[in-house]
Amino acid sequence: MQEEDTTRVEAFSDGVFGIAMTLLILEIKVPHLPHEAPADKWWLFGALLSLWPSFIAFVLSFGTVLIMWVNHHGLFKHAHRTDNRLLFANGLLLLLVTFVPFPTAVLAEHLNKPSANAAATFYCATYVVIALCHNLLLSAVLANRAPGAVGSSAHEAAASRIRRAYGAGIAVYLAATIAAIFSPLGGLAICFSLWGLWVLLNYSAHERAS
Amino acid sequence: MQEEDTTRVEAFSDGVFGIAMTLLILEIKVPHLPHEAPADKWWLFGALLSLWPSFIAFVLSFGTVLIMWVNHHGLFKHAHRTDNRLLFANGLLLLLVTFVPFPTAVLAEHLNKPSANAAATFYCATYVVIALCHNLLLSAVLANRAPGAVGSSAHEAAASRIRRAYGAGIAVYLAATIAAIFSPLGGLAICFSLWGLWVLLNYSAHERAS
Amino acid sequence: MQEEDTTRVEAFSDGVFGIAMTLLILEIKVPHLPHEAPADKWWLFGALLSLWPSFIAFVLSFGTVLIMWVNHHGLFKHAHRTDNRLLFANGLLLLLVTFVPFPTAVLAEHLNKPSANAAATFYCATYVVIALCHNLLLSAVLANRAPGAVGSSAHEAAASRIRRAYGAGIAVYLAATIAAIFSPLGGLAICFSLWGLWVLLNYSAHERAS
Amino acid sequence: MQEEDTTRVEAFSDGVFGIAMTLLILEIKVPHLPHEAPADKWWLFGALLSLWPSFIAFVLSFGTVLIMWVNHHGLFKHAHRTDNRLLFANGLLLLLVTFVPFPTAVLAEHLNKPSANAAATFYCATYVVIALCHNLLLSAVLANRAPGAVGSSAHEAAASRIRRAYGAGIAVYLAATIAAIFSPLGGLAICFSLWGLWVLLNYSAHERAS
């Protein structure tokens, strides 16, 4: 029954991650033909290219939420059962994941406008809050480990590795937020660079766990 | 086969809960740069802050539906099989859960306007109807308990505890609706306060059931 | 492996049914405060009431798709394996289920306008096509029954009962379409009345099958 | 545990496929009654017919993503476990599947306008990229086969059959893209014609695998 509990929470979380990722596409707005038809038959390609802020925002948010999902997957492997603390830490994370399409749409709308610094700062700051929430979830998962796992050196090593990585996540997103105040694209570049870190982390954690 | 029946209804309900929660984000509208660009580069932060009705509506609805999902989870543990009465009581609940994004969007649009009282009253009244529907679902679940569970004192105690809590839910949401007629934020505060009650209920019910 | 096949198709179909039902809420548009604020503080209730075409369209479509889902559930109990014919008949049904939010939105927009007859006719005609498609799916399911089921009198009786019910579905939706040409609400009333028929059918089929 | 890994990735992918397919309906815009009510009571049918670009785009994209889902299903039967390469190749495919509603909406908006050639070229080019990504996923799946499957003549034959089909997919979508530069409907016709090829491929692969 405990096993089934974890399964249902994971399946529900997967659903929310998947829907949040898919809704991101709704923020890319179709360019409309202007009233006076442009002379150039291929005008549409220029209009599509000018949507680059939307494409950057879409790809960055999609990839980041996808990596969150992969990590969520890895994290719940350590959870042996669910209690209310785990359910609500997970719920808070899902609230924030569901929120991601909003800062993404704000970024897409403002990245090529004078308000770009404010939009990128808001966008990066959202991920700081999400990183903090991941740490809450980590504590809740560790408090729900299998009795045999607590104190086992292999599990403690895995736990401290994840803990260090999550701490690094907060630090890097904080740096991205501060960078975005001065340079929107600089802040976003730091967010993108985290993809590499997470892939590495997940890869090594996965290798050692299996 | 009966077991599988419950599983499929639960998985379907989880999907509807998850999608309804995720669609809530679509009601928060991205602020657009006014035609005459504001002098303040950080103008966007003020525009985001002025969206506070949307943020309150989003968080309140997300949390409430999430708690409904957790309770739905707990309730279906008591269902041993599904009959048509259970399927249709559950379907009515899903109809209302799916409806939640609409009063949420109405609240977000009107909470800082003269029409705030009407919007908050409509919002709270929706939850009265949902609470009534939860009671219908509870009866349907209790009618589908395992033969051994009926009459067992532990199960009867759990059932009457849930019944009391669901009755309290109706009463509190009714109070919130009446309060919202006079004070929109007062009504919403009562709705928020229910989170605490549900957490307590679920925690104690879970503890005793496991 | 064959069993798993059916499970994955059912889970995927459940997802599409659930999302289509949940997207229906997006067609109900939030009333906006007019530029000259109305004198009546409770003006919003009148504006919400004037959305009655949207509420009727939402409830009718939600209930109809929910009943389709329950029947889909019952139908797939007879499928022992999936072949390409079943996958594509099911895919065609999902295409049409996904389409339902569009005629629903058309109905919501036009039901209180001079174009109501055309909107209701289009809405009911959609269900005629869906009913035809259900018959395609039924044939595909019957062609994939367990070897033991073919020829067994109990299964043949169940199959012919479903066949008669699906035939009746086509006839009633055709009648609703013709009625809607003359009276939009008349056509919709016939659609609503089918709920009763399906409940009865499903109830008796379920009883006898279990 | 490895088995469960594949299951969760497949379930998550199914969710994303299903949501992307269902969101396609949001691109079909409800026709609004013009300010001066048209004399013809059945004016709405003409307005619906003039939405033919939206209907073509919806059906073509829905069917194509559905076939992708069926093939994804068939492809993952060969995966015995998941590693990070598989997770990220699959993630890239999901990014592109999620993207499909955007070129679909662009096509729907521009197919009956002078910008039709550009819209259809963009639409077909999206599928070229998706076909390339399917080849990446295929390599990742083949690298994760069960130890017994590698070198087995039956599995190698299945793998090379899929490889040939995926190669053909790239070629045909490339042809469709080039055709769309000169004739939008010509390019789309080639995309539609691929449905037949995929059905045949899947049918024969399924037959021989089972």
Count CB atoms within 10 A of the CB of residue D161. Answer: 15
Q: Is C93 helix (H, G, I), strand (E, B) or coil?
A: helix
CA distance to partner chain B, nearest, from residue A207 (Å): 32
Q: Phi and psi for D79 in degrees, rounded to 5?
A: -85, 125
Determine, yes or no, domain membership for B39.
no
Which residues of B touch chain C, with CB atoms under 8 Å apart? 1, 8, 11-12, 15-16, 19-20, 23, 26-27, 83-84, 87-88, 91, 94-95, 98-99, 101-102, 105-106, 109-110, 113-115, 117-119, 122
What are the angstrom distances between the C-alpha of D178 and each of D183, D191, D196?
9, 12, 20
From B16, which residue of chain A is nearest by alpha-carbon distance?
Answer: A15
Within 8 A of C31 by CB-CB distance, chain B residues are 106
Cβ pair A12:B17 closer than 8 A: yes
Determine, yes or no, domain membership for B42.
no
* Structure confidence by residue, pLDDT tens digits, A33-75: 877 767 777 889 999 999 999 999 999 999 999 989 888 888 8
Sequence-distant contacts of C166-174: CB under 8 A, at least 24 apart: C166/C131, C166/C134, C166/C135, C166/C138, C167/C135, C168/C197, C169/C131, C169/C134, C169/C194, C169/C198, C170/C128, C170/C131, C170/C132, C170/C135, C172/C197, C173/C124, C173/C127, C173/C128, C173/C130, C173/C131, C174/C128
Higher pLDDT, residue C202 or D62: D62
Q: Of the candidates D15, D30, D206, which has its C-beta nearest C84's C-beta?
A: D206
Cβ pair D18:C15 closer than 8 A: yes
Residue C185 is classified by DSSP as: H
What are the angstrom distances between the C-alpha of D191 and each of B120, D74, D202?
50, 21, 17
Contacts of C62 (CB under 8 A, 6+ apart): B95, B98, C21, C24
**Sign of CA pseudo-dihedral A170, B18, B125, B144:** negative
Contact in structure between D184 and A44 (CB atoms under 8 Å): no
Q: Which of A88, A92, A85, A199 is nearest to A142 (CA)?
A: A85
Contact in structure between A40 and D115 (CB atoms under 8 Å): no
Count CB atoms within 10 A of the CB of residue D147. Answer: 7
DSSP result, chain B: -HHHHHHHHHHHHHHHHHHHHHHGGGGSPPPPPPSS--S-TTHHHHHHHTTHHHHHHHHHHHHHHHHHHHHHHHHHTT--S--HHHHHHHHHHHHHHHHTHHHHHHHHHHTTSTTHHHHHHHHHHHHHHHHHHHHHHHHHHHTT--TTTTT-HHHHHHHHHHHHHHHHHHHHHHHHHHHHHH-HHHHHHHHHHHHHHHHHHHHHHHHHH-
Average pLDDT over residues C148-161: 75
* Number of domains into which chain D is organized: 1
Cβ pair B102:C28 closer than 8 A: yes
Which pLDDT does position A2 carry in this prediction? Answer: 45
CA distance to partner chain C, nearest, from residue D48 (Å): 9
* Structure confidence by residue, pLDDT tens digits, D9-56: 888 899 999 999 999 999 999 998 877 767 777 889 999 999 999 999
Euclidean distance between CA atoms D161 and D98, whole angstroms = 27
CA distance to partner chain C, nearest, from residue D83 (Å): 22
DSSP result, A188-201: HHHHHHHHHHHHHH
Which pLDDT does position D97 carry in this prediction? Answer: 96
CA A115-A116-A119 angle, 5° bins: 90
**Domain span holding position A16:** 2-30+37-209
Q: Of the candidates D41, D45, D63, which has its C-beta nearest C114's C-beta?
A: D41
Count CB atoms within 10 A of the CB of residue B105. Answer: 26
Euclidean distance between CA atoms A176 and B67, whole angstroms = 34
Which pLDDT does position A147 carry in this prediction? Answer: 72
Cβ pair B115:C69 closer than 8 A: no
| Structure tokens given for A84 | 């209310």
Rg, Å, chain A Cα set: 20
Count CB atoms within 10 A of the CB of residue C114. Answer: 15
Which pLDDT does position D210 carry in this prediction? Answer: 44
Average pLDDT over residues C19-24: 94
Cβ pair D16:A18 closer than 8 A: yes
Percent of chain A with pLDDT over 70: 89
Q: Which of C55, C162, C207, C24 is nearest to B85 (CA)?
A: C207
CA C85-D67-D160 angle, 5° bins: 100
Average pLDDT over residues A181-197: 91
Within 8 A of D113 by CB-CB distance, chain A residues are 33, 37
Rg, Å, chain C Cα set: 20
| Alpha-helix runs per DSSP H in chain D | 2-23, 43-49, 52-76, 84-99, 101-110, 116-142, 153-182, 184-209
Question: Does pLDDT of D4 surpass 60?
Answer: no
Cβ pair B113:C33 closer than 8 A: yes
* Structure confidence by residue, pLDDT tens digits, D90-104: 999 999 999 999 999
Q: Of the candidates B15, B62, B70, which has its C-beta nearest A98's C-beta?
A: B62
CA distance to partner chain C, nearest, from residue D171 (Å): 25
Cβ pair C118:D44 closer than 8 A: yes
Question: Residue-wise pLDDT tens for chain B (210 aa)?
Answer: 344 567 878 888 988 999 999 999 999 999 988 777 677 778 899 999 999 999 999 999 999 999 898 888 888 888 888 777 888 899 999 999 999 999 999 999 999 999 999 999 999 999 999 999 999 999 998 888 777 766 677 777 878 888 888 888 899 999 999 999 999 999 999 999 888 777 666 555 555 444
Cβ pair A44:D118 closer than 8 A: yes
* Structure confidence by residue, pLDDT tens digits, D150-188: 667 777 787 888 888 888 889 999 999 999 999 999 999
Q: Phi and psi for A48 in degrees, rounded to 5?
A: -65, -40
Which chains border B (3 or more CB–CB pairs < 8 Å)? A, C
Average pLDDT over residues C61-72: 90
Which pLDDT does position D127 carry in this prediction? Answer: 96
Question: Does pLDDT of D1 surpass 50?
Answer: no
Q: Of the candidates B88, B91, B122, which has its C-beta nearest C48's C-beta?
A: B122
Which chains border D (3 or more CB–CB pairs < 8 Å)? A, C
Which pLDDT does position C2 carry in this prediction? Answer: 45
Within 8 A of A62 by CB-CB distance, chain D residues are 95, 98
Question: Does pLDDT of C90 surpass 60?
Answer: yes
Question: Does pLDDT of A3 surpass 50?
Answer: no
Within 8 A of C11 by CB-CB distance, chain B residues are 11
Determine, yes or no, domain membership for B48.
no
Cβ pair D106:A44 closer than 8 A: yes
Which pLDDT does position B6 carry in this prediction? Answer: 79
CA distance to partner chain B, nearest, from residue C206 (Å): 8
Contact in structure between D87 and A70 (CB atoms under 8 Å): yes
Average pLDDT over residues A194-206: 66
From D13, which residue of chain A is nearest by alpha-carbon distance?
Answer: A18
CA distance to partner chain A, nearest, from residue D192 (Å): 23
What are the angstrom distances between the C-alpha of B142 and each of B74, B78, B145, B156, B159?
13, 7, 5, 10, 8
Euclidean distance between CA atoms D78 and D206, whole angstroms = 12
Q: How many CB pairs under 8 A join C and D?
A: 86
* Structure confidence by residue, pLDDT tens digits, D113-158: 999 999 999 999 999 999 999 999 999 988 887 777 666 777 778 7
Within 8 A of B42 by CB-CB distance, chain A residues are 117-118
CA D172-D176-D177 angle, 5° bins: 120
pLDDT band at C33 (very low <50, low <70, confident <90, very high): confident
pLDDT band at C3 (very low <50, low <70, confident <90, very high): very low
Q: What ipTM was assigned to the predicted interfaces of this complex?
A: 0.87
In one-letter notation, the amino acid at residue D170 is I
Which pLDDT does position A151 carry in this prediction? Answer: 66
What are the angstrom distances between the C-alpha of A169 and each of A122, A176, B6, D48, D87?
17, 10, 40, 51, 21
Question: Does pLDDT of C176 surpass 80?
Answer: yes
Residue with tokens 């939402």: C58
Euclidean distance between CA atoms D46 and D38, whole angstroms = 11
Euclidean distance between CA atoms D197 and D210, whole angstroms = 20
Average pLDDT over residues C168-180: 94
From A55, which residue of chain D is nearest by alpha-carbon distance?
Answer: D99
Contacts of A200 (CB under 8 A, 6+ apart): none
What are the angstrom distances between the C-alpha of C3 and each of C6, C10, C93, C156, D208?
5, 11, 21, 22, 18
Euclidean distance between CA atoms A117 and D79, whole angstroms = 45
Within 8 A of B48 by CB-CB distance, chain A residues are 106, 122
Question: Does pLDDT of C187 surpass 90?
Answer: yes
Determine, yes or no, domain membership for B202.
yes
Average pLDDT over residues C88-105: 94
Euclidean distance between CA atoms A70 and A10, whole angstroms = 12
